[in-house]
Chains A and B, each alone.
Chain A
Amino acid sequence: MAKRTGIEVSIAIAEAARQANVDVVSAYPITPQTHIVEHLAQLVADGDLDAEYITVESEHTAMSACVGASAAGARVFTSTSSQGLALMNEIVYLASSLRTPVIMALANRALSGPISIWNDHSDVMNERDTGWICIFANNGQEAYDLTLMAFRIGEDRRVMLPVMVNFDGFILTHVIEPIHIFEDQEIADFIPPYEPLCVLDTDNPITVGPVGVPDVYTEAKKQQEMAIRESRPVIEEVFEEFARRYGRRYRPVETYRADDAEIVLLAQGSVIEAAEVAVDHLRDQGKKVGTVELRLWRPFPFDDLREVLCSTSIKQVVVLDRCISFGGPPGPVLSEVRSALYLEKDKPMVVGVVAGLGGRDISLEEYVEMFEIGEECLRTGKDPGEEPELVKIVGLRE
């Protein structure tokens, strides 16, 4: 039986890695992820986790150690944020290309400059095309659950890809809240020992990561693209098994009061629950509003999203981006949602807003303002994105 515990979200995530019985942890401490690897280092030092904790001089080396260890057949965990992930970038791309199922807990934090230790999604969006499976948690329980499930998804023989679990820095990492923590044995049943497909072994030598000449590179990339697309049914299988075992159901696209809604706010991460409070408030006033959460970011859940948004009561989508695609469509989530709906005949209008950059708090009134922007678009049939001032930032000081 899981035990309901008042625990810091970071510690719960580290506990998930312990319960998954990881073999190797390599990380370089960075705010706001710090407590996760601190706790794991302590567990290893105290003998409570039988793992190698590889200390390194940078995140670039941390990810290099993770990829090497994974290629040698180890179950591998790391955690980082912001600049740390940016410094890892070169090897992040390699982890997916080499099909090493490294599991990463990413405490989302803004990229510098100006220097910001606070939360937004510019770090993960910068890594959008690195080929990792990418999932968002919106509270502590989800961050713990999804970290556990990440091992099952990434290490599945049909997948063999690294997985990034996203959760908002500080807003989640530094909060103590009630989380149901499983018994170790329950997790041992759910996450069996990792059985690697091919292993670096001096007795039976293989090469991992050789040169891909023009004659093979395209085919290698096609295989990788197929692999991440084909991870979709496995992800849903794992979600399904988790729901069957533990009663909490996860979906690639989540909705709240969206069934008969006309306007929905679409977002990722911890903002979703706060937006739900705004939805309840507006529903009391008779407004038909709801939220849609893009939990799965890669592979992009095209079908699920179309099913929720197309040929339904929803007439207007307001996409909340937590970072800016400079000089492009204001935000990456907006861009992808619009693109996913492009060929649909019966589709809602989609407008974008940006908010919560670099730790700027989003107040309840500002969520209401986002729905009002949707209302205005629906009333006038005009998208403010078409206006000269392209980026609508909610909460911007004029």
Chain B
Amino acid sequence: MVEIRFHGRGGQGAVTSAELLAQAAIKEGKHAQAFPAFGAERRGAPVLAFTRISDEVIKLRTGIYHPDVVIVLDPSLVKAVPVVAGLKEGGLVVLNSKKGPGDWKKELGREDVQVASVDATSIAMEELGVPITNVVMLGALVKAKPLVGLEPLEEFIAQRFPRIAEKEIKAFRRAYQEARVE
């Protein structure tokens, strides 16, 4: 089982990221759960969302405290919240940043982990015209760790954003191309 934690700010679509990933996994015949951190959400405040993916039925419904993967949608969050807290040894961090993965390993103090970074905000601004990075970050994630295929993920992205499907998929593919993984 792979456990993934998304960090975002209210309104950035972290919950949507978690859901799209789970839906794509379910479509591929896997078992998956997506759920938000249960609470009162406010626009701009740090929020969490989670996905579990497994080949077997998922019975666990506890929170995720030791994720295999952490995805940070907003660059300012790294300083605001302990994003790598509980991250498993040798886990993966996916960051929205202009800086490369090597610099981040040092900054996070976790030389054991794999880091993927992509300038998701710039991609989102150029392709969508808004700094909403949820779909973009999924592109970087699946490049670093192919948890699901690109095709089912793009199918659900198109379904979720019918009016801007082409733009979202273009942004998603760009992130897949441009993400640097170390």
Which residues of A approach B to under 8 Å, CB–CB? 4-6, 8, 32, 117-119, 170-172, 174-178, 270-271, 273-274, 276-277, 359, 361-364
Chain B proximity of A149: nearest CB distance (Å):
21
B32 and A359 form a contact (CB under 8 A): no
**Overall SS of chain B's interface:** mixed
Is B61 on the interface with A (CB-CB < 8 A)? Answer: yes
| Pick from B26, B32, B62: contact of A361, CB under 8 Å | B62
Known: A176-B32, A176-B34, A359-B38. 5 other contacts (CB 8 A): A171-B38, A174-B38, A177-B22, A363-B62, A363-B65
Is B163 on the interface with A (CB-CB < 8 A)? Answer: no
Which of B24-46 touch A at CB < 8 Å? Answer: 25-27, 31-36, 38-40
29 A-B Cβ contacts within 8 A? A4-B26, A5-B26, A6-B22, A6-B23, A6-B32, A117-B38, A117-B39, A117-B40, A171-B38, A171-B61, A172-B61, A175-B34, A175-B35, A176-B34, A177-B26, A177-B33, A177-B34, A177-B58, A178-B26, A273-B59, A273-B60, A273-B61, A274-B59, A274-B60, A274-B62, A359-B38, A361-B62, A362-B62, A364-B62
Task: Tell me the complex Cα distance, A171–B62, Å.
Answer: 8
Task: Tell me the complex Cα distance, A222–B50, Å.
Answer: 50
Is B63 on the interface with A (CB-CB < 8 A)? Answer: yes
Is B3 on the interface with A (CB-CB < 8 A)? Answer: no
Is B168 on the interface with A (CB-CB < 8 A)? Answer: no
Give the residue among A177, A274, A362, A363 with the most B Cβ atoms within 10 A: A177
Is B154 on the interface with A (CB-CB < 8 A)? Answer: no
Chain B proximity of A43: nearest CB distance (Å):
18
Residues from chain A with Cβ under 8 Å of B32 in the complex: 6, 176-178
The 6 closest A-B pairs by CB, nearest first: A6-B26, A273-B59, A6-B23, A170-B38, A176-B34, A175-B35
Task: Tell me the complex Cα distance, A119–B63, Å.
Answer: 13
Task: Tell me the complex Cα distance, A171–B27, Å.
Answer: 22
B60 and A174 form a contact (CB under 8 A): no
Task: Tell me the complex Cα distance, A43–B154, Å.
Answer: 27
Residues from chain B with Cβ under 8 Å of A361 in the complex: 62-63
B51 and chain A: residue at smallest CB distance: A176
Residues from chain B with Cβ under 8 Å of A177 in the complex: 22, 26, 31-34, 58
Give the residue among A6, A8, A178 with the most B Cβ atoms within 10 A: A6
Residues from chain B with Cβ under 8 Å of A178 in the complex: 26, 31-32
Is B19 on the interface with A (CB-CB < 8 A)? Answer: yes
Task: Tell me the complex Cα distance, A172–B34, Å.
Answer: 10
Chain A proximity of B141: nearest CB distance (Å):
17
A277 and B23 form a contact (CB under 8 A): no
Q: Encode contact with A along B61-93: 1 for CB under 8 Å, 0 otherwise.
A: 111010000000000000000000000000000
Task: Tell me the complex Cα distance, A5–B22, Å.
Answer: 11
B22 and A176 form a contact (CB under 8 A): yes
Chain A proximity of B87: nearest CB distance (Å):
18
